[in-house]
Amino acid sequence: MIDVLDLGASLYIPGTKPNFSSFLEKNKQIRSVIIDTEDSIHAIDIPMAEKNIEAELNRLSKLTFKKSFIFLRVKDSMHFKRIKNHPIAHLIDGYVLPKYNHITAPKYNKYINEEDVIMPIIENELFDTAKLDSCFGYIDQIKNSVLCVRVGITDIFNLFSLRRPKESTIYTHPIGARVVTDLLIRANALNLSLSGPVFESYSTKSKAVLAEEVKAEVTMGIYTKSTIHPDQIKLIEQQYRVSKIDLESAKLLISKSSSVFGHRLVMQEIATHLKWAQSIIKRADSYGTI
């Protein structure tokens, strides 16, 4: 199973994008991509997109460099069923399931098996507790296949005829803060991770806001994020680096036999800090230190 920390900043690529294999060959630092056949293309263009995806992934499979993890965002449950019997299924690492809700979830779940790697997207259930409970009940049924839960924040803001803010982080907006916090708590109850929502602006001016948003996510234990432009990737993944002081503390927690001790004038307690320490060490291995 892929580790969530392996995903980094997941770049969305429209399924109709020509020569995306060459793009990935030139940008070998990209850890994961999500090839989209849902919102970014018209339904009428799906057959053309599938031909393009198959050709590009076949070309990519013949190249020798370490590839990005590749996921396909399907159109809906029937497209998911069909694509699992398509040659594309053997060229990807997993599936992203859009609009996973109390109605569509059982339809998706019918076609999921133990070998699948799945990332469901929660988009429109957030304000009905019963429906959201039902949705996570369906996620619980397939949780051994779930890599992480993703949040469709743009769709959620669209319910209010709004766009997510670009001058401030999603966590300063009452809708964004409530949605992500609620999903984070529910995902954690199933021992699953949550992905940070997409940040729509990739202007130079917005970089500081994006960095602050990812820093806030790190404090919540969110270590992967949807991206829509390659210029966002390095900035996002820099925020996943670990301070040398935290890494030192984490290594001590792992190695100490005493249950409670002090280090750098801070209490270190194995019972409550061990999971944190393990996460810090994994992040340092993946993203380095500062």
Is the full-model pTM beyond 0.75? Answer: yes
What DSSP string runs through the chain? ---GGGT-EEEEEETT-TTHHHHHHH-TT--EEEEESSTTS-GGGHHHHHHHHHHHHHHHHT--SPPPEEEEE-SSHHHHHHHTTSGGGGG-SEEEETT--TTTHHHHHTT--TT--EEEEE-S-TT-HHHHHHHHHHHHHTGGGBS-BEE-HHHHHHTTT----SSS-GGGSHHHHHHHHHHHHHHHHTT--BPBPP----SGGGHHHHHHHHHHHHHTT---EEESSGGGHHHHHHTT-B-HHHHHHHHHHHH--SSEEEETTEEEEHHHHHHHHHHHHHHHHHH-B-
- In this structure, the answer to whether residues 178 and 260 fall within a common structural domain is no
| pLDDT band of 262, cuts 50, 70, 90 | confident
- In this structure, the answer to whether residues 219 and 253 fall within a common structural domain is no
Q: Which two tokens stand for residue 162?
A: 């709004």
For the chain, what percent of residues have pLDDT higher than 70?
99
| pLDDT band of 265, cuts 50, 70, 90 | low
- In this structure, the answer to whether residues 152 and 264 fall within a common structural domain is no
The predicted structure's pLDDT at residue 261: 77
Which of 146-155, 250-259, 276-285 is predicted with the least confidence, judged by mean pLDDT? 250-259
Which of 80-94, 214-228, 262-276 is predicted with the least confidence, judged by mean pLDDT? 262-276
Report the alpha-carbon distance of residue 177 to residue 170 in Å, rounded: 7
Domain carrying residue 203: 4-238
- Burial group, residue 116, by CB count within 10 angstroms (0-12, 13-18, 19+): middle
- In this structure, the answer to whether residues 25 and 56 fall within a common structural domain is yes
- In this structure, the answer to whether residues 260 and 154 fall within a common structural domain is no
What CATH number has the domain bearing residue 43?
3.20.20.60
- In this structure, the answer to whether residues 29 and 87 fall within a common structural domain is yes
Position 272 pLDDT exceeds 80 = no
Q: Do 128 and 103 meet the contact criterion of CB atoms below 8 Å apart? A: no
Which of 202, 218, 238 lies at the terminal end of a domain, its last residue? 238
The predicted structure's pLDDT at residue 260: 74
- In this structure, the answer to whether residues 215 and 281 fall within a common structural domain is no
- In this structure, the answer to whether residues 209 and 248 fall within a common structural domain is no
| pLDDT band of 257, cuts 50, 70, 90 | low
Q: Which two tokens stand for residue 245?
A: 């002081």
Report the alpha-carbon distance of residue 235 to residue 233 in Å, rounded: 6
Between the alpha carbon of residue 247 and those of residues 203, 276, 277, the distances in Å are 33, 10, 8
The predicted structure's pLDDT at residue 125: 76
- In this structure, the answer to whether residues 272 and 165 fall within a common structural domain is no
Position 77 pLDDT exceeds 80 = yes
pLDDT in tens, 211-231: 999 999 999 999 999 999 999
Which distant-in-sequence residues (6+ apart) come within 8 Å of 47 by Cβ? Answer: none
Mean local confidence (pLDDT), 53-82: 94
Position 51 pLDDT exceeds 80 = yes
- In this structure, the answer to whether residues 191 and 265 fall within a common structural domain is no
- In this structure, the answer to whether residues 234 and 249 fall within a common structural domain is no
Position 159 pLDDT exceeds 70 = yes
- In this structure, the answer to whether residues 78 and 215 fall within a common structural domain is yes
Domain count, the chain: 2
Between the alpha carbon of residue 232 and those of residues 56, 195, 198, the distances in Å are 23, 15, 10
The predicted structure's pLDDT at residue 5: 93
The predicted structure's pLDDT at residue 268: 78
